Amino acid sequence: MNNPFLTLSLDGRQTGAVTAECRLHTLQRFTVEQCRQALALPDLQKTVVTALERRIRKLEKEANT
């Protein structure tokens, strides 16, 4: 499963956002597809789920205008 909250650091190590605050900041740059991938992850914080759903609606609305 793809986890859009994880990235590779310059030295090749995998790093990522795990706290709700970090995830909320990170998802502000996600595409619709990345938001959907994130929603499929287990044990997401409720605030993160809500923010992902809100971001999907926003991006879809922007795409339809």
Tokens of 65: 């205008």
Each residue of 25-58: b (16+ CB within 10 Å) or e? ebbeebeeebbebbeebeebeeebeebbeebbee
pTM of the model: 0.89
What is the pLDDT at residue 8? 85
Tokens of 52: 């992902």
pLDDT grade, residue 5 (50/70/90)?
very high
Residue-range domain boundaries for the chain: 6-63
What's 41's DSSP letter?
Answer: S
What is the pLDDT at residue 1? 63
pLDDT for 21-54, tens place per residue?
A: 999 999 999 999 999 999 999 999 999 999 999 9
